[in-house]
Structure 1
Amino acid sequence: MIPSASGKQTKEFPWWLAVAVAIALVAAFAIASSDVYAQVFATVAQGIGITIFVALVAFLLAAVIGLGIALMGLSGSIWLRQAARFYVEIMRGIPVLVLLFWIAFAGVPAFVAGWNFVTLPLQQAGYMDALLVREVSLLWRAIIALAFGYSPFIAEIFRAGIQSVDIGQVEAAKALGLGRGQRFRFIVMPQAIRVILPPLGNDFIAITKDSSLVSVLGVADITQMGKIYASGSFRFFETYSIVAYIYLTLTVSLSLALRALEQRMRRSQRQG
């Protein structure tokens, strides 16, 4: 939207989108008309499902953890607030790749050892077997790492959104006899979601891109399938061009969907 001479907002034509669509069509034609690119695409595309699964599940877990941390940070207990701040500051300072390695090769083995120690009486009684480190798949280790890596950022998004709600409305709802859960559900979240949604959507796009990091653990996502094909065929240019093309298609599509949702929410807000 740009201002016109009359002061009204006029809609600007999305030339960037037109160029992006043209490039995507040219790339799609090249893939369809070339046996080499078609073979590379068919191989790399096998990892799309894993990439989407990793990004979606990790984001949902990160959102749940982040909401819990945000509520702790807004609680009346100083201990909960300090614990939430400690978590956010520490976790934000660890690179996602480092966290991925730590959880995969240090955190999970430590958890398994602790679990086996706690459940030792049950194991000795024959009620359950000891948990083995190899039984925790690398896929879930990667998902857990991404969830913890993004949860502090999402926690800050939730905190800012909740604090943006006018405290007077919360007090009015409290005076009407609404409980804490009812106030959060019917008063706070419907208004906070308008502030929360845009940055939350950006984090989902970011976690979709960062899901490529799981390839370092051998998880068969888009990047890993590309690495396998390129190392065997030595077609690095073709392979990583296809990998970039697929990621761009996913992220641009998500960005457009998010923008459409934001515009729809603005229209409904104006109409309401």
Structure 2
Amino acid sequence: MRKKITTWMLLCMVVLLSFGSIAGAEGEKKTVILGTSAEYMPYEFHKTIDGVDTIVGFDIEIAKEIAKDMGAELVIKDTSFDALLPELTSGRIDFVISGMNPTEDRRKSIDFSIPYYRAEQSIIVRKEDKDKYNTVESLEGANFGVQKSSVQEKIAKSIPNSNVISLDKVPDLLLQLETGRVDVVIAEYPVAKANINEDTMAITDAKPVSENDEYAVGVRKGNEELLNSINATLERLKEGDQIQKFVDQAGDLAADRVKDDLNTFEFFWKYRDYYFKGIQYTLLISALGVLFGFILGLLIALMRMSGASILKFIATAYIEIMRGTPMLVQLFIIHYSLAAFDIKFTPIQSGILTLSLNSAAYLAEIFRAGIQGVDRGQLEAARSLGMTKSKAMRHIVLPQALKSVLPAIGNEFIVIIKESSIVSFIGVMDIMYQAQILRGSTFAALNPLLVAAMIYFILTFSLSKLLGVYERKLSASDNR
């Protein structure tokens, strides 16, 4: 039994660490890592080219020129907009290009290049409201949708009696507008032009003004060598008017995008490769999360039931802290905050570690209930036959305890499969990450989420049925 557990632990650790070793092997090449939020047409967005999902946009073309001038290979890391600064300050990416304004607040934590582009702000409304919100004054008292942590958020909050809803992604904002939850969405004109559905939305004549409508490249504080290299590239591109050419090309790519009139099943079949890739990551992270959580949870349960006060205190404190804090907060602490101490995990490693630590707290209580549910007389009988306490626990008590709590363990596995969706926040390409890509790269607002929901249901339903079959087999053996 012990040898099997040790073998499985070693095998899983090899699988987990292999993600880091692969990245290390690639690190022998000179690479530069770009951080971006690829749902901001025409700056950066996903588009299927020759059957391959590709991140395109004029920001991406600028990044390619920066990497070329450095003699480096460009690696693109797609994440949510409000995670870009933590990714940059933690050293996981080298620079940020994502339609970012060099505001004073941002300058406190990172450095910026010279501006490379300037765009005017625009107001997006439902088509029937175009005349209602055609001046800046008419915006007073409106419900605004803006991108979180953006200059548009500041503009909206400065308008008298405004009610502001801030979200991560532009497609989500436009969905809020279409469904009547907001009256107005503020976005740069190129973004508005590329993203709106002209059948239901319109851009008004209102032109809100911001203190800072320029865009620049962000780098870590003190990285002067990279900053100087970026500035030199931007100067070259601006002198040759190359940036405007990139803008026009990106606009053409965005305009070439058409809305698919597909039902949910047709949508899944067309984009099945995205979801199959997401399923692989979801199952990998969930399986390893439960496995490591199982081992750690059993250890914590034994610590809590031990006679040593210090071990009991540590186990109890661990359980209460992990169960009393949101898993998303735990994920961000592990992935971003630990980087301040030079402890850096890849997104997959952070996801597995978070799920394992969180699951262990719940499994520890499940194991404790199972162990306490075994008749104490069996342990005493084993001791009277000359077995040590540890041997009696391993051979007599634990097998019965695990058998009795198997349904609860299976339920925890199902919960982990669903909660693994939070790893999409740090760039793990799981099911939810793929669904968000498809929401940004197509005009479909609902189908990507419906397909994701069906996949999660199929995974959890299938697992519950398999566990049910296994439980019936165990029950049959009890009746012999």
Same fold (TM over 0.5): yes
Q: 2:301 matched to 1:70?
A: yes
One-letter identity of the residue aligned with 2:332: F
Q: 2:266 matched to 1:57?
A: no
Aligned residue runs from structure 1 range 1-272, under 5 A:
31=265, 34=266, 36-110=267-341, 112=343, 133=344, 136-271=345-480
**Partners in 1 of 2:426 and 2:363 — Cα distance?**
25
Structure 1 runs (4+) greater than 6 angstroms displaced: none
**Partners in 2 of 1:37 and 1:57 — Cα distance?**
27
How much has 1:152 moved relative to structure 2? Answer: 0.8
How much has 1:47 moved relative to structure 2? Answer: 0.9
Distance 1:108 1:266, change over 3 A: farther
8 A contact 2:382–2:392 mirrored in 1: yes
Distance 1:149 1:161, change over 3 A: same
Cα shift readout 1:29-63 (whole Å, capped 9, x = no counterpart): 973xx3x4311233222111110000000111111
**Partners in 2 of 1:185 and 1:147 — Cα distance?**
23
Distance 1:91 1:229, change over 3 A: same
How much has 1:110 moved relative to structure 2? Answer: 2.8
Structure 1 length-normalised TM: 0.76
SS at match of 1:191: helix
One-letter identity of the residue aligned with 2:398: M
One-letter identity of the residue aligned with 1:155: A
Distance 1:197 1:111, change over 3 A: farther
Question: Comparing both structures, which one devotes a greater share of its residues to strand?
Answer: 2
8 A contact 2:264–2:450 mirrored in 1: no
Question: Comparing both structures, which one devotes a greater share of its residues to helix?
Answer: 1
SS at match of 1:177: coil
One-letter identity of the residue aligned with 2:328: L
**Partners in 2 of 1:269 and 1:216 — Cα distance?**
45
One-letter identity of the residue aligned with 1:69: I
One-letter identity of the residue aligned with 2:323: R
**Partners in 2 of 1:240 and 1:165 — Cα distance?**
44
8 A contact 1:40–1:239 mirrored in 2: no
One-letter identity of the residue aligned with 2:341: A
8 A contact 1:69–1:84 mirrored in 2: yes
**Partners in 2 of 1:37 and 1:186 — Cα distance?**
48
Cα shift readout 1:184-228 (whole Å, capped 9, x = no counterpart): 221101211222211010000000111111001110011101111
Rg bigger for which structure? 2
**Partners in 1 of 2:313 and 2:277 — Cα distance?**
44
**Partners in 2 of 1:164 and 1:72 — Cα distance?**
17
8 A contact 2:264–2:447 mirrored in 1: no
Structure 2 length-normalised TM: 0.44
How much has 1:236 moved relative to structure 2? Answer: 2.2
Structure with more contact order per residue of length (Cα contacts < 8 Å, sep ≥ 6): 1
How much has 1:257 moved relative to structure 2? Answer: 0.8
Distance 1:185 1:84, change over 3 A: same
**Partners in 1 of 2:340 and 2:374 — Cα distance?**
43
Cα shift readout 1:62-94 (whole Å, capped 9, x = no counterpart): 111111110001111112112211111111101
Aligned residues: 218
* Alignment correspondent of 1:115: none
Distance 1:170 1:222, change over 3 A: same
Cα shift readout 1:8-47 (whole Å, capped 9, x = no counterpart): xxxxxxxxxxxxxxxxxxxxx973xx3x431123322211
**Partners in 1 of 2:369 and 2:434 — Cα distance?**
39
How much has 1:242 moved relative to structure 2? Answer: 1.0
8 A contact 1:40–1:242 mirrored in 2: no
**Partners in 2 of 1:175 and 1:190 — Cα distance?**
19
8 A contact 2:304–2:315 mirrored in 1: yes
**Partners in 1 of 2:405 and 2:442 — Cα distance?**
45
**Partners in 2 of 1:270 and 1:255 — Cα distance?**
23
8 A contact 2:300–2:364 mirrored in 1: yes
**Partners in 1 of 2:320 and 2:264 — Cα distance?**
47
**Partners in 2 of 1:180 and 1:66 — Cα distance?**
20
One-letter identity of the residue aligned with 1:164: G
SS at match of 1:236: coil
One-letter identity of the residue aligned with 2:321: I
Residue identity over aligned pairs, in percent, reads 37
**Partners in 2 of 1:72 and 1:93 — Cα distance?**
20
Q: Which runs of 5+ in 2 are unaligned?
A: 1-262
